[in-house]
Amino acid sequence: MPIMDLTYPAGTFTPDARTELVDELTTVLLQAERAPKTEVFRNITWVYVHELPEGTMLAAGRPITDPTFRLQVTVPQGALSERRKGELVAEATKTIRSAAGISEEDALRVWVLINEVPEGNWGAAGSVIHFEQLRQLAAQESERAGAAAGAG
């Protein structure tokens, strides 16, 4: 049940390019979490896109002229090991750079912040969601995907 918030200047992407970027970031995050590659997990990975008006991104009190990005990723505590966090940051940065046409030398214009929600502090559908429940769901989805692949 990860959530991402992607913030960047308005006009950086066409609607189609934005949709493609969000889809790719969803894939990157689910791969880092080692979540099953199923629609169930894609559908519970939400991305909030924040396009900021011109002149509202500042550095040293002045508007930033080059597109700059902040990707905030919120996951349940324990969903990502330190190694997987490194994978997520590297791949998300590369994905955003590629979509925005940013060179590797300008990668500092892409920030990835990972927020972990402590166990017992994530709720959905009126109930507290525990990380173990998500692990069980992942195991079930992996079994279903394996069974479907074997039947095909």
Lowest mean pLDDT: which of 15-29, 99-113, 131-145? 131-145
With beta carbons less than 8 A apart as the criterion, state whether 39 and 81 touch.
no
DSSP 29-60: HHHHHT--SSHHHHHT-EEEEEEEPTT--EET
Q: What is the pLDDT of residues 75-91, one digit of tens each?
A: 999 899 999 999 999 99
CA distances from 112 to 26, 107, 143 (A): 14, 11, 32
Helix (H) or strand (E) holding 112: strand 110-117
Q: What is the pLDDT of residues 18-60, one digit of tens each?
A: 999 999 999 999 999 998 888 888 998 999 999 999 999 999 9
- Token pair listed for 114: 């990972």
Q: What is the mean pLDDT of residues 83-108?
A: 97
Q: How many residues does the chain have?
A: 152
Rounded to whole angstroms, the Cα distance separating 111 from 99 reads: 15
CATH number of 3-151: 3.40.50.720, 3.30.200.20, 3.20.20.20, 3.30.429.10? 3.30.429.10
Q: What is the mean pLDDT of residues 96-120?
A: 96
Question: What pLDDT sits at residue 152?
Answer: 63
pLDDT(17) > 80: yes
- The pTM of this model reads 0.86
pLDDT(96) > 90: yes
With beta carbons less than 8 A apart as the criterion, state whether 98 and 27 touch.
no
